Structure 1
Amino acid sequence: MSKSSVRQEMSELVNEIRDHQFRYYVLDKPIVSDGEFDLLWQKLLKLEGANPELCDPNSPTLEVGGGFATHFQQHDHFEKMMSLDNVFDEAELNSWFERVAKESTSNTWLCEVKVDGLAINLIYENGKLSRALTRGNGTTGEDVTLNIKTIKSVPHQLIGKNIPKLLEVRGEVFFPVAKFNEINETLEESGKTPFANPRNAAAGSLRQKDPRITASRPLDVVLHGVGAVDGAKFESQSSAYATLKSWGLPISNRYQVVKSKAEVAEFIEFYLKHRHDVEHEIDGIVIKVNEREIQNALGFTSRAPKWSIAYKYPPEEVTTKLLDIRVSVGRTGRVTPFGFMEPVRVAGSTVTNATLHNAQEVTRKGILIGDVVILRKAGDVIPEILGPVIEKRSGNERAFEMPTHCPDCGSTLRAMSEGDIDIRCPNSQSCPAQLRERIYYIGSRAALDIDVLGYEAANALLEDKLIADESDLFALSIADLKKSKFFLKKDGEIGANSVKLIAALEGAKARPLWRILVALSIRHVGPTAAQALANRFGNIADIERATLEELSDIDGVGGVIAQSIKEWFSEKWHRNIITKWEKSGVCLVDAVTEKLPQTLAGLTIVVTGSLVNFT
């Protein structure tokens, strides 16, 4: 390849990478997967390494961060906030170890999980949080102080002894995975657009103009680095963490000091296997020279410390071809389009289907059947199509059209209320798909957590007519299960899992009232609303008798959920579920709440004067 061709390719890569950085860091709306971006980055690095005379002095590989949003004030960091260089396999990691060994004699390494969040710099002056900045371009960041102060784990005032005059601490703002799943389920049930992924959710939540919106999101922070310090000295990275923790700062326990490359490899392998057991998303492991003196001696490149490296795990965002868009019917009748794709390996499993949420979302994302699409899957998060790779379109793609009739029962699909962007099957009582999904949901961890009541078991109970609907579930017996081949062994005897199912159903009868409420699949009633209802009323009978106003006034319920509850109880077949469950021995009373006196129920308490240190 001629020098002019190489220069042209490098220029195109620089422009393409800058565009992707802007979409990722500023818009929080990437259009390529992390893996694809890393490939572009590595390609540019190799070209620059082989052709240093052609290297653009403004290349993104020489810079930090990716720019700014437009509505925040900007301030300088006291000490430059660097990025990290990446390696992707054992050979590249060993090359980094060799480079460090040539310039130092490090005896210990600190390994820690790499949090996939939004980089943040917290500045404390005389122990008081004075400013919080995003990374920005590494020199200057966006001022998000008011928003950061809404995060409960961030102290406004440091505690303890020997607090320095100035302290910069760096870390990541993240959206806990469990909370991310909960809020997305709520958004989907409400017909709203869900967040694409936890990292984007964290970035978008922190960059709100109104801190009250940020405060409503369950953000958290973990700190993993120190910038400028005046009035304290740290001998090592690990001792710095211990000191920061003693001052009340949120430091992760997911790090380890090791003395060999073999131990580093063990740490990497451990979290590769257990990455989805962590409360936040991680995309790799960061390895640091532990001794601060050696860190200072090694120094920095223009964009990253020489004494630290990020070992990146295989991507959880990949590309594949969208072969078709089909629809599924959920437990509340919501009809959801999903993508049927060429099989692709992502996050440890092979994926062929991924949710598209609703027809408006398909249109908003600009997805066509036949597109090459970006697919994301992290842990227990349902695989999701983020968007198309428009540059790879052939012209043979076609638009998706939402069906007009339920694919399972043939009922005419419609929006159930004005302004609802979802369409639903109105045949909730006898639609096979809704029945199957409700039975399956009853057994899920989100509801009654009934062992061995999985999807296939739920389907067999209905297909073999062992139950007509969920009202019959708790009356099942071993004799009933013997009527279905699914629950028998090859020799015709009842299977061990069938015995477990009956025992698990018996145990589930004593679940807390809020779980019973969740299991009823009342639209919009998730764990939060169910617990509020159980705490307020203590039994299902009182919930049924409650007025719309009484329900609406409960914190965690509100008008929409209250209306949904009244509509649910107005159906005779719904009330029949309650009657038959109670007859089968299901406890419809919250024992704890029933024992508590309700002396102050319905009263408003007014406090005069002032309360010291009350927030």
Structure 2
Amino acid sequence: MRDEFERVRWLRGEIETANKQYYVLDQPTMTDADYDALMRELIDLEAKHPDWVTPDSPTVRVGGEVAKEYTKVRHLEPLLSLDNAFSAEDLREFDRRVRQVTSTVEYVVELKIDGLTVALTYENSLMVRGATRGDGEVGEDITPNVKTVKSIPLRLKDDVPRLSVRGEGYMPKASFARLNQEREEEGQATFANPRNAAAGSLRQLNSKITAQRKLDYFAYQVLGANELGLHNQTEVLTYLKEQGFIVNPEYKVFGTIDEVIGFCERMSSERHGFSYDIDGLVIKVNDFAVQQELGFTAKSPRWAIAYKFPAEQVETVVEDILIRVGRTGVLTPTAVLTPVLVAGSTVSRATLHNLDNIRQKDIRIGDHVLLHKAGDVIPEVVKMLPEKRTGEERIFEMPEFCPECQSPVRQDEGEVAYRCQSITCPARQREGIIHFVSRDAMAIDGLGPAVIQQLLDARLISDAADLYSLTFEDLIPLERMGKKSAENLLKAIQDSKTRGLGPLIFALGIRHTGEKAGKVLAQRFGSMDQLMKASLEELQGIPDIGPTMAENLVYFFSLESTQGFIEKLRQAGVDMTAEESSKPQIFAGKSIVVTGSLERWDRREIEKVIEDHGGKAASSVSKKTAFVVAGEKAGSKLTKAQELGVQILTEDEFDTLLKQ
């Protein structure tokens, strides 16, 4: 028995060493046959002695049982997206903003891998969770699938109490080609590109399928790096390599934006030479202290930007130009194209944005044009090809009357957009309802555009508030609406009544007021009634609410149509209040920073405690900070608090304050 136990330990060591040599160092020391033989022996021994199986055993990489569903995971810190740059001018503008804060700056430029963001959590050096980015705050737990990726260490090299790592899961081109060949031979649909294949593989409910897909992973960020004594991005990349992660080796450090631009241009021509897909580069301010000074916007850090490569361009023909009317009444011209394959998918339509854009590019019906996908996602007409003109092309004119309701169309002074002037326009109503029921708004599942159109055509609804009056008898006659679908839809409509004030504000579709602003307004005013009474000065005094948004809010709530619509929602029983905490608001109006490793709470738990008691869990220390809660290995935030004379509490002192 003892000999078998020692054999298991030896096998694990040999296999993990082979994995590192092959996947991390790219220096294989063992043949595939020898590796497979060792793995089979280990699997057999662990099957014989299941109590010997450990969380970091190499056998977990072959996949296990099929999961029923993924659970939601709240990230310790928001995983923000990046603003995009598409030209040298965009990069110089980014550099100008950075240099308003610091006279000297060093940039780290890393390849932007075209894959799926994966956040890893390690506790006591063991990998305990892998999660998707999700919406940046909440992702999906895909730990069994992540463990099958052999380039991800299951155990860190050093003894680390807790570590959160962000990186990119991707599928190498060779794995992608092999996977599509296998699927084609089996009569299955092929994947459009490696990114889709990687995303689909990491979100498989059966981790054994993920294991067969031969995925890989590049690590590039440590959350809370300051608290580990790391002072810049290059130190982070070195630390990650030391802990056993693969870090993309192509990163460079530059002292000027011109050097950065030169590297971007060179990589744009060399991008296809890598064994994996890249769709751009990420430029980051190297120094964390400067990063902290630059701070964040609502969606992205001000100290980083993603440079997107010029997209693939193909030729096609503009067969017609149609008009789509949006929920704010804007008329958007859309090109109907001869179908063409571009960047992995067939495109037959592309937005032309507005009449000024059409005139500037001189696009006419019948033109041969170059098409690409802006940001590798959105189809866009780049330019027309004058040498292909025959003289039969037709100049497009914006209609004088709305194609949906025949109401007058007007271009407001100072705007490029043309708008339908009727607030009862069917298209505006339809698009407004589609927005109202969307996931981040009132989240009414099963109510797609086709069903909404049927409800409008049958005159069962005229606006979103009428949804709450629908009955089972109303829904059953609709096309493709069975009994179960009708019951589920009615339940989803009923459940949406309790979404709360924040999502409801976003659902109203107020110009310039997004999801985050809805949350801010809900927290500030607490109820729809108080928000509707707010003055322009009061709104402008709220952080994250700019003057344009404030003006639009005041105007929107002054309209009789708005007031009537909200009253209909009220009569239907829609909750118009923000969820209030039952906790005493002892931190009301106070900004509190948490730093270091805590024993009693994890980071998200203590931040929720602060918010439940009326405080704001801030990410940086300033003179306005009420106090700092400092745990073990507190870093630069603690130092700054000491320099500014901000009160510092231990974890025990904070707990005592709560109890008092």
The alpha carbon displacement at 1:572 in A equals: 1.5
- Report if aligned partners of 1:320, 1:344 keep a CA contact under 8 Å in 2: yes
One-letter amino acid of the structure 2 residue matched with residue 474 of structure 1: Y
Give the match for residue 486 of structure 1: 479
Give the alignment of 1:200-599 within 5 angstroms. Answer: 200=86, 204-205=90-91, 208-212=94-98, 252-254=167-169, 265-266=178-179, 271-274=194-197, 309-310=274-275, 317-346=313-342, 349-369=345-365, 370-376=367-373, 381=377, 383-390=378-385, 392-396=387-391, 397-416=393-412, 418-428=413-423, 430-482=424-476, 484-486=477-479, 488=481, 494-592=482-580, 597=585
Q: Can you give the 5+ residue segments of structure 2 that lack an aligned partner in the other structure? A: 1-25, 33-78, 102-106, 114-150, 182-189, 203-214, 219-243, 250-265, 280-310, 592-621, 628-636, 645-660
Q: 1:522–1:221: structure 2 CA closer, same or farther, 3 Å change rule?
A: farther
Give the alignment of 1:20-169 within 5 angstroms. Answer: none
- Report if aligned partners of 2:111, 2:278 keep a CA contact under 8 Å in 1: no
CA distance in 1, matches of 2:490, 2:108: 41
CA distance in 1, matches of 2:400, 2:108: 43
CA distance in 2, matches of 1:220, 1:458: 48
Q: Secondary structure at the match of 2:580?
A: helix
When the two chains are superposed, the root-mean-square deviation of aligned CA atoms in Å is 5.3
CA distance in 2, matches of 1:537, 1:559: 18
CA distance in 2, matches of 1:577, 1:367: 41
CA distance in 2, matches of 1:541, 1:480: 32
CA distance in 1, matches of 2:569, 2:373: 40
- Report if aligned partners of 1:442, 1:448 keep a CA contact under 8 Å in 2: yes
One-letter amino acid of the structure 1 residue matched with residue 537 of structure 2: E
- Report if aligned partners of 1:223, 1:250 keep a CA contact under 8 Å in 2: no
- Report if aligned partners of 2:318, 2:368 keep a CA contact under 8 Å in 1: yes
Q: Secondary structure at the match of 1:363?
A: helix
Q: 1:519–1:599: structure 2 CA closer, same or farther, 3 Å change rule?
A: same
CA distance in 2, matches of 1:508, 1:250: 35
One-letter amino acid of the structure 2 residue matched with residue 564 of structure 1: N
The alpha carbon displacement at 1:551 in A equals: 1.0
CA distance in 2, matches of 1:448, 1:540: 15
- Report if aligned partners of 1:317, 1:377 keep a CA contact under 8 Å in 2: no
| Larger RCO of the pair (alpha carbons < 8 Å, separation 6+) | 1
The alpha carbon displacement at 1:286 in A equals: 9.7
- Report if aligned partners of 2:112, 2:278 keep a CA contact under 8 Å in 1: no
CA distance in 2, matches of 1:207, 1:361: 23
Give the alignment of 1:187-198 within 5 angstroms. Answer: 198=84
- Report if aligned partners of 1:223, 1:249 keep a CA contact under 8 Å in 2: no
CA distance in 1, matches of 2:108, 2:545: 25
The alpha carbon displacement at 1:203 in A equals: 8.2
The alpha carbon displacement at 1:545 in A equals: 0.5
CA distance in 1, matches of 2:469, 2:589: 36
Q: 1:356–1:485: structure 2 CA closer, same or farther, 3 Å change rule?
A: same
- Provide the TM-score with structure 1 as the length reference: 0.52
CA distance in 1, matches of 2:387, 2:327: 36
Q: Secondary structure at the match of 1:252?
A: strand
CA distance in 2, matches of 1:570, 1:595: 35
CA distance in 2, matches of 1:606, 1:372: 55
One-letter amino acid of the structure 2 residue matched with residue 265 of structure 1: R
Q: 1:591–1:265: structure 2 CA closer, same or farther, 3 Å change rule?
A: same
- Report if aligned partners of 2:506, 2:513 keep a CA contact under 8 Å in 1: yes
Give the match for residue 640 of structure 2: 613
The alpha carbon displacement at 1:445 in A equals: 2.1
The alpha carbon displacement at 1:278 in A equals: 11
One-letter amino acid of the structure 2 residue matched with residue 208 of structure 1: F
The alpha carbon displacement at 1:457 in A equals: 0.8
The alpha carbon displacement at 1:343 in A equals: 1.6
Q: Secondary structure at the match of 1:410?
A: coil
CA distance in 2, matches of 1:565, 1:224: 38
The alpha carbon displacement at 1:376 in A equals: 1.5
CA distance in 2, matches of 1:212, 1:309: 31
One-letter amino acid of the structure 1 residue matched with residue 96 of structure 2: D
The alpha carbon displacement at 1:401 in A equals: 2.0
**1:184-210, CA deviations, whole angstroms, 9 ceiling, x for partnerless residues?**
xxxxxxxxxxxxxx5627982465341
**1:354-380, CA deviations, whole angstroms, 9 ceiling, x for partnerless residues?**
11222222234443332323131778x
The alpha carbon displacement at 1:607 in A equals: 7.3
**1:294-321, CA deviations, whole angstroms, 9 ceiling, x for partnerless residues?**
x9xxxxxx9999xx74356998654321
Identity rate, percent: 28
Q: 1:203–1:499: structure 2 CA closer, same or farther, 3 Å change rule?
A: farther
One-letter amino acid of the structure 1 residue matched with residue 167 of structure 2: S
CA distance in 2, matches of 1:516, 1:265: 47
The alpha carbon displacement at 1:481 in A equals: 2.2
CA distance in 2, matches of 1:335, 1:220: 42
Q: How many aligned positions are there?
A: 389
- Report if aligned partners of 2:362, 2:384 keep a CA contact under 8 Å in 1: no
Q: 1:366–1:587: structure 2 CA closer, same or farther, 3 Å change rule?
A: same
One-letter amino acid of the structure 2 residue matched with residue 521 of structure 1: G
Give the match for residue 652 of structure 2: none
Q: 1:568–1:460: structure 2 CA closer, same or farther, 3 Å change rule?
A: same
**1:385-439, CA deviations, whole angstroms, 9 ceiling, x for partnerless residues?**
14125365324344332222211111221234x42221211211x1011011111
CA distance in 1, matches of 2:428, 2:332: 12
The alpha carbon displacement at 1:459 in A equals: 0.7
Give the match for residue 11 of structure 1: none
Give the alignment of 1:12-27 within 5 angstroms. Answer: none
Q: Secondary structure at the match of 2:86?
A: helix
The alpha carbon displacement at 1:524 in A equals: 1.5
- Report if aligned partners of 2:433, 2:464 keep a CA contact under 8 Å in 1: yes
**1:186-235, CA deviations, whole angstroms, 9 ceiling, x for partnerless residues?**
xxxxxxxxxxxx562798246534124999xxx9975699xxxxxxxxxx
- Report if aligned partners of 1:205, 1:214 keep a CA contact under 8 Å in 2: no
Give the match for residue 50 of structure 1: none
Give the match for residue 255 of structure 2: none
**1:85-132, CA deviations, whole angstroms, 9 ceiling, x for partnerless residues?**
xxxxxxxxxxxxxxxx9x999979xxxxxxxxxxxxxxxxxxxxxxxx
CA distance in 2, matches of 1:221, 1:510: 45
- Provide the TM-score with structure 2 as the length reference: 0.49
- Report if aligned partners of 1:328, 1:337 keep a CA contact under 8 Å in 2: yes
CA distance in 1, matches of 2:436, 2:108: 31
CA distance in 1, matches of 2:277, 2:493: 44
